[in-house]
Amino acid sequence: MIQAKGYAAQTATTDLAPWDFERREVGPHDVQLEILYCGVCHSDLHQIKNDWFPGIFPMVPGHEIVGRVIKVGNHVKKFKLDDLAGVGCMVDSCQVCENCKDGLEQYCFEGNTQTYNNKDRQGVPTYGGYSNTIVVREEFVLHISDELPLAATAPLLCAGITTYSPLRHWKVGKGHKLAVLGLGGLGHMGVKFGVAFGAEVTVLSTSPSKEAAAKELGAHHFVVTSDPEQLKAVRGSFDFILDTVSAEHDMNMYLSLLKTNGTHICVGVPSAPYAVQPFALLGGRKSLAGSGIGGIPETQEMLDFCAEHHIVSDIEVIDIKDITASYERMLKGDVRYRFVIDMATL
C-alpha cells in the first residue's frame, strides 16, 4: 500500500485535522499524482457535516485536484511521468452502461464512484484531495495545460465543469438572458462561461457588496435579491436561471423571474427539498431542471476551452491548517470566489 497523509474529519462534529492513511498500489491502469493544489468546494462542507446523508468517516474531502504524475501503471497510455493532471468529483464508473458509453459517467446507471465519501468497486472507502497523493484509473484523470496558472485551474475540476455542462447542454449563448443565482465558487464560473458563450448575464445575489466584483467578472447586470424594487424590475425577464445556491431559498419567487418557456437549472444542493408551487411552473410553461458535474469527455473539453480562452477561477490560496476558518468564511460568502489549498503546506 502507499502511505498517504491528509486532513480528515473523524466525525461529522469534529474539525478537519491531520490524518495518515493508505492508498492502493498503482495498478496497471492507474495513475498516481502528487497533489499540488486542491480547491475547497461547498460540497466538502456539506459532506463533512452530513448535510445530505450520513457520510463515511474518517472523511478526507476534496474533489478539485491538480498535480503532477509521479507513477503510471504498465498499461497507461494517456499519461507519462511529470505530466500535469487533474481529478474531479469521480474516480470510477461501470464504463459499460449507456450513459458511460455516451461520456456521461456522472449519470452511470450503477452510480459513479465519488472521489471521497464513497466506496470504490472493491468496497474500500475513497479519500479525496486534501492530501499529498492520489491513485486513480487513467480514464478518470484529466490533462491540464501548462498554459494556465495551476492553483487557479483546480476549481475548474468541479465548479468549472458543473457550470459549463448545463450551459452547453441548454445551448445558452447569444440572444439569451442568463441569470446566475448566487455568486460563489460555482456562480463566478457560471458568469465567466455565460459571458464567454455570448449570453447577457445578470447576477442575482444576496450580497450588495459583490456588485463591483461581479461586473469585473463580465456580468452585465447585478440584482440584489433582498431589494423588492430591483426584483420587480427583472420579473419575467430571463431565459435561464443557473441556480448555484447552497442553502434554502424561495424557488417560487425565482421562477417568477423567468420568461414564458424559461428554464431554472439547479446545480446548488441545499440540504432540504425545494417547495415548488405547481402554478409557479405551469403559469408560463416553465421548466425546473438539474445538472450534476459533467462527464469525462466534457470535462476535458471544458479544460481545453479554458486553456484556449484563458479562463480560470478567481482564488485565494490558503494553508491547509486554515481550512476550518476558510469554511466559516465560505459560509459567510467572504471569499472571491474559491479557496484553494496549497498542498505544500500539508
Output 267 or 311, the one with its CB closest to ligand NAP. 267
Tell me the backbone φ, ψ of residue 46, rounded to 5 degrees: -50, -45
Q: Is 329 near ligand NAP (CB under 6 A)?
A: no
Q: Is 268 near ligand NAP (CB under 6 A)?
A: yes
Q: Judged by CB under 6 A, which stretch of 144-152, 243-251, 256-264, 301-309 contacts ligand NAP? A: 243-251
Q: How many residues line the site for ligand NAP (CB under 6 A)?
A: 30
Q: Which of the listed partners (ligand NAP, Zn ion, none) does 112 bind, with a CB threshold of 5 to 8 Å by partner kind?
A: none
Are 180 and 204 spatial neighbours (Cβ–Cβ below 8 Å)?
A: yes
Q: Which residue in 158, 195, 251, 288 binds ligand NAP (CB under 6 A)?
A: 158
Residue labelled with grid coordinates 475548474: 156
Q: Is 245 near ligand NAP (CB under 6 A)?
A: yes
Dihedral (CA of 215, 219, 223, 224) sign: negative
Q: Is 135 near Zn ion (CB under 5 A)?
A: no
Q: Which of the listed partners (Zn ion, ligand NAP, none) does 267 bind, with a CB threshold of 5 to 8 Å by partner kind?
A: ligand NAP
Residue 344 DSSP label: G
Measured between alpha carbons, how far apart are the two ends of the chain, in Å?
20
Are 63 and 158 spatial neighbours (Cβ–Cβ below 8 Å)?
A: yes
Q: Is 162 near ligand NAP (CB under 6 A)?
A: yes
Q: Is 118 near ligand NAP (CB under 6 A)?
A: no
Are 47 and 59 spatial neighbours (Cβ–Cβ below 8 Å)?
A: yes
Report CA Rg, the chain. Answer: 20
Of 92-111, binders to ligand NAP (CB under 6 A) are: none
Q: Which three cell numbers stand for residue 96?
A: 459499460
Q: Is 192 near ligand NAP (CB under 6 A)?
A: no
- Write out the DSSP string of 247-300: S---HHHHHTTEEEEEEEEE----SSPP---HHHHHTTT-EEEE--S--HHHHH
| CB half-sphere exposure, 230, CA atoms < 13 A | 13
* Site map (CB under 6 A) of ligand NAP, residues 74-93, x = contact: --------------------
Of 152-171, binders to Zn ion (CB under 5 A) are: 158
Judged by the rule CB under 6 A, the positions of this chain that interact with ligand NAP are 41-43, 46, 158-159, 162, 182-187, 205-207, 210, 244-247, 249, 267-269, 291-293, 330, 333
